[in-house]
Amino acid sequence: MAKDTPLAGKVALVTGGSRGLGRQMVLAFADAGADIVVASRKFQSCKEVATEVEAKGRRALPVACHVGHWDELDGLVEQAYDAFGHVDVLVNNAGMSPLYPDLPSVSEELWDKVLGVNLKGPFRLTALVGTRMAQGDGGSIINISSSGSIRAAPHMLPYDAAKSGLNTLTEGFAKAFGPAVRVNCIMAGPFLTDISKAWDPAVLERGMPYAALRRAGQPEEIVGAALFFATDASSFTTGAILRVDGGLP
């Protein structure tokens, strides 16, 4: 295996893979030699990224899937295995955090949607794919958490609570599927993706001066951590939660 293609012969499944951090990881994995399953709610968006992957000489399967819908995840997994025969890297990246004016305004529907996408879905998908990995040739599972999981904010409380749960799942699944499967987590800080356009600029400006790097991240800056966990570079690392947040206090 060439050093510049450490994922040659591997298949990566990335949820939320059509934009933002997910798209950056998809393209980086393809550059590293992997074939890709691009999963997101909108098929056309997945198809566009799949076309980018194919332009790099890799195979790609676009799949429309709502990660918060338990019954859709079995179908996602079946399509991935039918197309490629195996999945070697799973990235639980899909997420959502709807805005709300105050905490009493958080409805049961909003709560359930946020927990569904950010926690319930990753649990089910990891259980399905991790079991197959453990029974086969092993693999790597990467959860994308948030700095809010340890620094909860009132305006993102359901999301932060879900991501805290994802940290817990990381450690639990690492023990459940070891030694064949490594399960790790990237605790992402603020990144300037399309989602960040909905943030209050004043809040971001107040927070960033306290970070060691004094700025938010660019989407491509997630790639190094993702490749570390996806490849054998992290062969002795599992159950780990890596902060990629610019040095937030």
Bond from prior residue into 179 cis (ω within 30 degrees of 0): yes
Please state, in angstroms and rounded to a whole number, the distance separating the CA atoms of residues 89 and 230: 6
Instruction: Mark whether 159 is an active-site residue.
Output: yes
Q: Which residues are catalytic?
A: 159
